[in-house]
Homo-oligomer: A and B are copies of this chain.
Amino acid sequence: MRLMTSSDKPENASAAPVPTGVAAQDWAQAAAEPHYRAAVVDLLGALAYGELAAFERLAEDAKLAPTLGDKAELAKMASAEFHHFERLRNRLTEIGEDPTGAMDPFVAALDGFHRQTAPSDWLEGLVKAYVGDSIASDFYREVAARLDIDTRELVLAVLDDTGHAEFAVEKVRAAIDADPRVGGRLALWARRLMGEALSQSQRVVADRDALSTMLVGGVADGFDLAEVGRMFTRITEAHTKRMAALGLAA
């Protein structure tokens, strides 16, 4: 994952609680609790398959690139996603889990998302890369604050922005400047992406008990149902800001 810049982070930095409980523990301590361990395996599995699917999608989008330079830029992003995937897979192996087993439960939802939102051109691909990964990144950052120290460090590392957001924003803004009608079409597209992302997330949360329990106040720190609501509000607000940065109405 990638594409977060400091300016479009949701405003949870100040709202996040001072680490206590799990968030103050390392993996060895925290994982002694079987429900917490299961939730983290789910999270790493979802994130790992997300990176592998993002690799495939970006490599596919590279074919739509109008120039060799643009193609190389997309290939670079794809390759960066692959290296994130490798880190997550290696961590799963390190903690004694089968990476394939951890990823399997998330294949249907992520493949479904990508199938429902196959970009029809280069600009739709860029908007999808930017918006989709930003939303995923916001979500994982929110969750990361509630994780043990070691898992948090890994999750934040694979969400590290590698400067690709600027590339997408610059290309999309230039296209809208050149033809303002493009803006209307891409705004509709971004709304469809957000809708599909929410619908697939609900599917995952409904299916995965350990993950949902961690999200809703169970085993990790500081999340209750009201907090989940606020989290979605923060993510939606960040999305609206990003749309404005692209020159699109959310």
Contact = CB atoms under 8 A, between A and B. Distances in A.
A89 interface: yes
A55 interface: yes
Given A75-B85, A79-B82, A82-B75, A104 B68 contact: yes
B55 A100 contact: no
A63 interface: yes
A100 B59 contact: no
Interface string A67-100: 1110110011011001101100100000000011
A82 B76 CA distance: 7
A78 B59 contact: yes
Contacts of A67: 100
**What's the interface size class on A, roughly?**
20 to 34
Contacts of A172: none
A1 interface: no
A237 interface: no
Contacts of A79: 55, 78-79, 82-83
A157 to B, nearest CB: 17
A60 to B, nearest CB: 7
Contacts of A143: none
B104 A75 contact: no
Given A55-B59, A79-B83, 7 more contacts: A49-B68, A55-B75, A56-B75, A68-B100, A68-B103, A72-B89, A78-B79
List 8 tightest A-B contacts by C-beta distance, closest first. A59-B59, A79-B82, A79-B79, A68-B100, A75-B82, A55-B75, A68-B103, A69-B100
